[in-house]
A and B are shown apart, each in its own frame.
Chain A
Amino acid sequence: MTRLFYDGTFEGLLTTVFEIYEHRLAHTKLEKGECYTSAMFEDKIKVITDETRAARVLKGLQQKLSPDGIQRLYIAHMAELDKEDDTLIGFIRYAFDSLMNIEEDFGNKYVLRVSEIVGFMRREKHRMEAFVRFQKLKDGSFYAAIKPDFNVLPLLNRHFKSRYADQKWIIYDIKRSYGLYYDLHDTQFISMEFSSINKPDKVIAAYTEDEGVYQNLWKNYFNSTNIPARKNTKLHVRHIPKRYWKHLPEKI
């Protein structure tokens, strides 16, 4: 068993694959972060991310997988699930070691697991597309704070950019402390300095006057559209898990 340590980037992951093949490692365990020496007899390799090597592996993968298959691998990696790096390695090795494209071989445990992880990411992305609540700031731009379970902000770019093309907006991931800003032309990733009073999820001071009015109207609408005779709390909570409520005016 060889333990490999990498920097957590997708290029790093691809470089790791390069090392595995170069050293013909059969059994590996991949970890993020620094390589500490503890047990003496263990094999350890610190992977240094190398763009050329990563590019070679990617090129190889492109011959084995469809563009969609590679995209899915990339998204599965973005999920940043600690214990799943080995799944990704297993998937990539299975792809390289097979003659045909294996991305639909759902009988294989790696392929199935990658498809599950991509499913988590897609679900979280859809939830964020639904649960982002913009608040209008005095300068006319719209601000939303989110706290997604997975790092899906980059996946939100296309949807929000094509939808809200005529308003400036910021979607800020307060868990990971970075945001996406659209300036009427393009989007870019940003990070912001918040003073301790203006917590990122409460930029109240900067609201426009009618912001409160519309939040209130929305709450009223939400309550009026409910049919009490059909009450079904279980279903309600399954659709909007409680951890998201904090950022939904209708649920506060």
Chain B
Amino acid sequence: MNADKVTEKLNILADAAKYDVSCASSGSKRQNHNKGLGNASNGICHSYTEDGRCVSLLKILLTNHCIFDCAYCVSRKSNDIKRAAFTVQEVVDLTINFYRRNYIEGLFLSSGIFKNADYTMERLVLIAKKLRTEHNFNGYIHLKSIPGASDELMREAGLYADRLSVNLEMPTEEGLKLLAPDKNRQDMIDPMNFLKKEIIQNTEEKKLFKKAPMFAPAGQSTQVIIGATQEDDQQILYMANHFYRNYNLKRVYYSGYVPVLSDSRLPALNTTVPMVRENRLYQADWLMRFYGFKVNEIVDSRQPLLDLDIDPKLSWAIRNMQAFPIDINKADLQMILRVPGIGVESANKIVKARNFAKLGWDQLKKIGVAINRARYFITCKSTDFERRDLTGTKIKQFILAESHSKYLKNTQTQLSMF
């Protein structure tokens, strides 16, 4: 291996891949078999970049040569940048050697499109195949499906990869037309449909024959870029909801647009990355996936934008004051989950602990409830509770005032959940 050459390629091709925010490596149940190398189960972040994102996979492009010209992408054909391409063996060696040192959970391989979709996809599949069959590698493999690749290649990809993803890139078809004229939304949806069917069929086969080969056990995901086009949060979240429901996606990733290129169709180069908005979208996504919220409870035509000041759960609560206060010692888990300041873990602890004795403020605090938020929405074993008939707007003011100084400092850094 020529260390200098590989280093240069790695720098170029990791840099070009970094705008894909997905780095998840969980959700697969691939075991280590035959005393091979690795397993994929728990999804560990081995490091964190200086921007605070999880580094779990070796995330690279096979090449940044591309025949397409998507406006938002650094690798687009018309962009004057250094181009590079790994050989199949170089990617295999990097993956294995990083994995053996416990740097990574596996490989996330994507690519610019060279020649055509099938030609590109074939190389991605070849790398996964080599890792699995020649190196007995059981770590995590995420392959990007190249839109327009043949069903045959997609099927083969599913046999070796844990996860496959096709990026929708833009929340709507219009957005895509505007910024990626070479791409066509149907070419992205077709492979999603194909994968969904294969995954369902494989699950059925697995029920019948335990030995049936795994097919993309960690499912499929997608990514949309936000803030490059004009879509509002309602459009974005309805889109996400649609894909969760109809394509069984495991995750939708929202990637705040990082201005890298000047183009009249795009936000100016000095625009800041919409990080708070991105965070709110993730919070809304969590509410849909883990907290039992319906998408129209979070955004609708009267409220098409997520509140940037407060998280979407608090925002829902103050719009629905008629649902509160609830008695923490009696309410259903589903309702407790809807209380601002109570997360999934605390909610579960509450419903377990209250079987033994009724809970008061002290205990709730120790269990991990953020009392300064929750107090407006709950009663507990205490005669001390919020008696004023406060409006939602007032509560928002109180909560914001209390966290004001913190909030000011944190607007750019707030990335916690609830």
Residues of A within 8 A of B (CB): 102, 104-109, 112, 126, 129-136, 142, 144, 162-167, 184, 210, 213-214, 216-218, 220-236, 238-240, 248, 250-251
Q: Give CA–CA (A126, B353) in the complex, Å.
A: 26
A236 touches B49 (CB 8 A): yes
Chain A residues closer than 8 Å to B35, beta-carbon distance: 165-166, 184
Q: Give CA–CA (A214, B102) in the complex, Å.
A: 12
Given A220-B10, A221-B10, A230-B258: A134 and B48 interface contact (C-beta under 8 Å): no
Given A105-B356, A107-B353, A132-B102: A227 and B19 interface contact (C-beta under 8 Å): yes
Interface stretch, picked from B177-185, B229-237, B359-367, is: B359-367
Q: Give CA–CA (A225, B11) in the complex, Å.
A: 8
A218 touches B353 (CB 8 A): no
Q: Which residue from A105, A224, A229 sits with its C-beta under 8 Å from B11?
A: A224
Q: Which residue from A142, A231, A238 sits with its C-beta under 8 Å from B101?
A: A142
A232 touches B14 (CB 8 A): no
B18 part of interface (Cβ distance < 8 Å) = yes
Chain A residues closer than 8 Å to B415, beta-carbon distance: 232, 235
**Which residues in chain B, 9-49, are within 8 Å of chain A measured between CB atoms?**
10-12, 14-15, 17-19, 31-32, 35-39, 42, 44-49
Q: Which 7 residue pairs of A and B lie closest in terms of their CB atoms, listed nearest first?
A: A235-B52, A230-B51, A106-B353, A224-B14, A105-B356, A239-B48, A104-B352
**Closest B-chain residue to A159, C-beta based?**
B42
Chain B nearest CB, measured from A7 CB (Å): 32
Chain A residues closer than 8 Å to B7, beta-carbon distance: 216-217, 220
Residue contacts A-B, CB under 8 angstroms, 26 given: A105-B353, A107-B357, A112-B367, A129-B42, A130-B46, A134-B100, A136-B101, A142-B100, A142-B101, A162-B31, A162-B32, A162-B39, A166-B136, A210-B1, A220-B14, A224-B10, A224-B14, A225-B14, A225-B17, A227-B18, A227-B51, A227-B53, A228-B50, A228-B51, A230-B52, A234-B413
**Closest B-chain residue to A109, C-beta based?**
B366
Chain B residues closer than 8 Å to A210, beta-carbon distance: 1, 97
Q: Give CA–CA (A96, B3) in the complex, Å.
A: 63
Q: Give CA–CA (A233, B51) in the complex, Å.
A: 6
A240 touches B48 (CB 8 A): yes
A229 touches B273 (CB 8 A): yes
Given A217-B94, A225-B18: A134 and B102 interface contact (C-beta under 8 Å): yes
B103 part of interface (Cβ distance < 8 Å) = yes
Chain B nearest CB, measured from A250 CB (Å): 6
- Interface flags for B146-172 (1: CB within 8 Å of A; 0: not) read 000000000000000000000000000
A107 touches B47 (CB 8 A): no
B356 touches A225 (CB 8 A): no
Q: Give CA–CA (A231, B100) in the complex, Å.
A: 29
B412 part of interface (Cβ distance < 8 Å) = yes
B318 part of interface (Cβ distance < 8 Å) = no
Q: Which residue from B101, B349, B363 sits with its C-beta under 8 Å from A218?
A: B101
Chain B residues closer than 8 Å to A129, beta-carbon distance: 42, 44
Given A226-B51, A239-B45, A240-B48: A163 and B39 interface contact (C-beta under 8 Å): yes
Given A106-B349, A108-B356, 8 new contacts (CB under 8 A): A106-B350, A107-B354, A129-B42, A162-B39, A167-B37, A224-B12, A225-B49, A231-B51
Chain A nearest CB, measured from B381 CB (Å): 9
Interface size for chain B: under 10, 10 to 19, 20 to 34, or 35 or more residues? 35 or more
B15 touches A224 (CB 8 A): yes
B367 touches A106 (CB 8 A): yes
**Closest A-chain residue to B103, C-beta based?**
A218
Q: Give CA–CA (A240, B354) in the complex, Å.
A: 36
Chain A residues closer than 8 Å to B412, beta-carbon distance: 232
B58 touches A130 (CB 8 A): no
**Closest A-chain residue to B354, C-beta based?**
A107
Given A126-B44, A218-B103: A232 and B356 interface contact (C-beta under 8 Å): no
Chain A residues closer than 8 Å to B357, beta-carbon distance: 105, 107
Q: Give CA–CA (A30, B76) in the complex, Å.
A: 68
**Closest A-chain residue to B36, C-beta based?**
A166
B44 touches A107 (CB 8 A): no
Chain B residues closer than 8 Å to A240, beta-carbon distance: 47-48
B275 part of interface (Cβ distance < 8 Å) = yes
B363 touches A230 (CB 8 A): no
B363 touches A106 (CB 8 A): yes
Chain B nearest CB, measured from A114 CB (Å): 13
**Closest A-chain residue to B12, C-beta based?**
A224
A221 touches B50 (CB 8 A): no
B247 part of interface (Cβ distance < 8 Å) = no
Given A218-B98, A226-B18: A107 and B275 interface contact (C-beta under 8 Å): no
Chain A residues closer than 8 Å to B3, beta-carbon distance: 213, 216-217
**Closest B-chain residue to A222, C-beta based?**
B47
Chain B nearest CB, measured from A31 CB (Å): 26
**Which residues in chain B, 49-105, are within 8 Å of chain A measured between CB atoms?**
49-55, 58-59, 94, 97-98, 100-103
Q: Give CA–CA (A163, B42) in the complex, Å.
A: 11
Chain A nearest CB, measured from B335 CB (Å): 19
Chain A residues closer than 8 Å to B36, beta-carbon distance: 165-166
B37 touches A217 (CB 8 A): no
Chain A nearest CB, measured from B272 CB (Å): 8
Q: Give CA–CA (A129, B17) in the complex, Å.
A: 26
Q: Give CA–CA (A184, B102) in the complex, Å.
A: 17
B6 part of interface (Cβ distance < 8 Å) = yes
**Closest B-chain residue to A215, C-beta based?**
B101
User: Which of A112, A164, A166 has the most chain B CB atoms closer than 10 A to its own CB?
Assistant: A166
B273 touches A134 (CB 8 A): no
Chain B nearest CB, measured from A163 CB (Å): 5
Chain A residues closer than 8 Å to B352, beta-carbon distance: 104-106
Chain B residues closer than 8 Å to A112, beta-carbon distance: 363, 366-367
Given A131-B46, A234-B413: A225 and B59 interface contact (C-beta under 8 Å): yes
Chain A nearest CB, measured from B336 CB (Å): 14
B18 touches A107 (CB 8 A): no
